[in-house]
Amino acid sequence: CQRKPKGTRKMASHAIEIMILGALIERPMSAYEMDKTLEERNVRRWIRISSPSVYRNVIRLCDEGYADGTVVKEGEMPEKTVYTITDKGRERFAELMDEAAALPARVDFGFLPVLANISLVDQKTGRALIDELIETHRSTAERVDGLIPAYERLEARATMELCADTYRLVAKHLEQFEKDLYGEA
């Protein structure tokens, strides 16, 4: 009964495919290296992709002909599979990038049920809840701002800046919502 709509699962898996294929366009790598690359880029903050999911999806992409895997042994290290993108994988990457760029932005704020039911609590409680949301979004924006300088890649910085700006925008919207709902404090 709690299953996600098909379109949601498809978009999530497409985002994972884009990230994996994009990493392989940069350079051949093992699933472990890919997982670490996604971790370093802080991708998991925006795309739900666990370590086991990286491994499962890179194997699936190999099975579908989008990547090739070669087992290598370096010195005393255990064997590992290094993956490379195929021409078919590059085509798939371009197709997925086009599809994702054409999609409308998906906005999913976990606090929306609070706002939808805010009139069911007294004003003091309602103000406290909204103020907590405002503070949470402001402090998250500041925390994200602090992370931005650590990212060397322009794309990563731009993504983080967009997220920080979104948190600030939500805080500003919540301030206005509180004024509209309750009047000036």
Measured in Å, how far apart are the chain's first and last C-alpha atoms? Answer: 43
Residue 93 in contact with residue 21, Cβ under 8 Å? yes
Strand partners, 70: 82
Q: Give the single-character DSSP code of 77.
A: S
Its pTM stands at 0.70
> Looking at residue 176, what is its pLDDT?
96
> Looking at residue 67, what is its pLDDT?
97
Average pLDDT, the chain: 88
pLDDT tens profile 127-167: 999 999 999 999 999 999 999 998 888 888 888 899 899 99
Q: Give the single-character DSSP code of 47.
A: S
Strand partners, 68: 84
Q: Which two tokens stand for residue 139?
A: 């402090």
> Looking at residue 108, what is its pLDDT?
75
Task: Give the chain's residues under pLDDT 50.
Answer: 1-11
> Looking at residue 12, what is its pLDDT?
53
> Looking at residue 109, what is its pLDDT?
84
Residue 73 in contact with residue 79, Cβ under 8 Å? yes
